Copies of this chain bind each other. A is one copy, B any other.
């Protein structure tokens, strides 16, 4: 895309959805370190998300997590979001923190537990209705820890049954986004461990069911951009959960561990039409900011995704196609690297200034005094936490 104004337009139109839980405390099984100023309720989380949007201009949507973000009055919450210039994004179900779900939720051997889990998923669709959320995002921690613990194929039957019931409940403009994950918290089998499993279920469910690619949820060596290209070709890529990892599901800031990988992913997105709004790909973040300040970390993640997108947009598509067609391996690789090696920060600064924003969102946020303000204001009460 050699036309700079087209590149800028594409960058202005990209929407990156941030997760409410990314503003709360999080940690590892060893320790959750608390931070000053962390929100104490869904309204404060929205206020933090609004800061990210105010400084980046591309983050108007916020994912909610139920029950972490359960409120009495969803209309009030939605109205508050709108006042902040935000709208409610995906509703994330949580069927992994109730004592009943120790051995599974929708795949549990006990039909009573499955009923409870499915009812929670249906409640999430109610919340979608109440908030205008278009996406039901499903992640199941379901699985087993030991060989023999449960019947692998039987659990697929139970999963399919629950998904079908929830799919039926979806409204016309609502989607089901099915996430997969290699492992954790289950350590032997996971019931939706890979894109193939998610894809197979979505295919049977119908067009409103699509796959979520969480960039931290793969086995070592998995080529994520291949999956992205494949799913886009099939019309089955519903969303990203962006984050980054060196080892397992580390949930570090997007682009922090392997910016070249993020660029290659965005290249497949651009190449295969995934940036067009009609394709419906939801660019979400799903991260844990364990030791770093949360709002600035989300801002950096957003700008990292933007930088990867900008580089992907700068690829000389014609030159690339010509080199590929002629079998010139080094030339084709060179076209890609040429875009990756470009410093796109000036371009993004220009885009922001055209939007009436400061050129460097990270610096602007730090200079705004908001971090000190929330640390002073949000004293007392219970801090929101990952899993709280």
Contact = CB atoms under 8 A, between A and B. Distances in A.
A193 interface: yes
B324 A147 contact: no
Interface stretch (A4-12, A29-37, A126-134): A29-37
Interface stretch (A51-59, A289-297, A374-382): A289-297
Contacts of A336: 147-148
B200 A234 contact: yes
A300 interface: yes
Given A145-B252, A188-B246, A343-B341, A230 B330 contact: no
B247 A184 contact: yes
Contact of A256 (B146, B225, B258): B146
Contacts of A141: 30
Given A230-B197, A292-B330, A325-B109, A184 B248 contact: yes
Nearest to A188: B246
Interface string A324-345: 1111011011111100111101
A245 to B, nearest CB: 7
A386 B330 CA distance: 20
A66 interface: no
A292 B146 contact: yes
Contacts of A156: 229-230, 233
Contacts of A307: 341
B30 A28 contact: no
A91 to B, nearest CB: 19
Contacts of A193: 223, 226
Contacts of A232: 153
Nearest to A300: B330
Contacts of A218: 219
A358 B282 CA distance: 45
A189 interface: yes
B246 A221 contact: yes
Interface residues of A, number: 103
A28 B250 CA distance: 13
Interface in A356-385: 362
Residue among A28, A99, A234, A320 with the most chain B CB within 10 A?
A28
A97 B31 contact: yes
A153 B31 contact: no
Contact of A259 (B182, B234, B260): B260
Interface stretch (A14-22, A70-78, A264-272): A264-272
B226 A332 contact: no
A67 interface: no
B183 A246 contact: yes
Given A247-B221, A341-B307, A252 B182 contact: no
A187 B220 CA distance: 14
Contacts of A165: none
A241 to B, nearest CB: 15
Contacts of A194: 194-196, 222
A222 B219 contact: yes
A340 B219 CA distance: 27
Nearest to A338: B345
Given A219-B220, A247-B187, A109 B146 contact: no
Interface of A: 26-31, 33-34, 96-97, 99, 102-103, 109-110, 141, 145-153, 156-157, 182-185, 187-190, 193-197, 199-200, 203, 218-223, 225-226, 229-230, 232-234, 245-248, 250, 252-253, 256-260, 264, 268, 271-272, 290-293, 296-297, 300, 307, 320-321, 323-327, 329-330, 332-337, 340-343, 345, 362, 386-387
